[in-house]
Amino acid sequence: MYRLKQLPEDFIVAEIPNLKPEQIGKFLYFWLEKKEKNTIDAVQELARKLGVREKDIGFAGSKDKHAVTKQLISLSGIPKEKILSAELSNASLSFYGYGDKPISLGDLTGNAFEIVVRNLDKEMIEATDRFENYFDEQRFSEKNAEIGRHIIKKEFRQAVGLMDEYQVRKHLEDKPNDFIGALKTLPLRSLRMYVNAYQSYLWNKMVASYLGKNGKNTKKVRYTLGELVFVSDTVHFKDLEIPLIGFNDD
């Protein structure tokens, strides 16, 4: 059976930024390179080392934990030398340049991947120039989509009950029934991450359903939240646009 991510170096991701560095600017941009560490953990550690709030460190998207990744982050009001001197576990920083705005979720052109697949001696791989680009396990983690669903439905007790967040647990120790207050202890982008996970799950389900009804030679692959459907006639769907629920919908 083939193996993915047997080693962190088997999955390398490099962010493709959509901004150009300047010589001066209010914000400083740094490359954050990490290994076997997720983006949130790296940002939280850096915030503690610099004595700033987690939300003061901007980034475009969360990168996989079980991988070697490179992405841009932004900070302001801190000397460049102090930031570069911060010692992080399984991560390092290098200066990229200056700019006039912080990096926010979605501020990237895309990601470049280098993926090693092992144990392929008995596997037959068909050549293809396109494939279905589903959201996969990195987006969902173990409970992200379920938490996002509860938030959307305003089921805040259930949402915080599924979270493994220190700030949330600490708040509920003092105010056991203040579930909205507990959620407010988290950065807005963390709450969006849960909602985005639920949106992504619904998108996967919609695409799989459409291809299952309209594609040829469909193949179903199980994942933690259901089934993904792949088809042999991908060329017929190359111009298909399926919006992410919550955006561009009437």
The catalytic site residues sit at 64
Q: How far is CA 200 from each of CA 13, 130, 209, 247, rounded to the nearest angstrom?
A: 20, 20, 14, 12
Phi then psi for residue 18, to 5 deg, are: -110, 15
Q: Are 83 and 50 in contact (CB under 8 A)?
A: yes
CA 86 vs. chain centroid, Å, equals 24
Give the angle 117-106-179 at the CA atoms, nearest 5°.
Answer: 100
Distance separating alpha carbons of residues 34 and 99, to the nearest angstrom = 23
* Entry field: residues in the chain: 250
> Which secondary-structure segment (H or E) carries 30?
strand 27-35
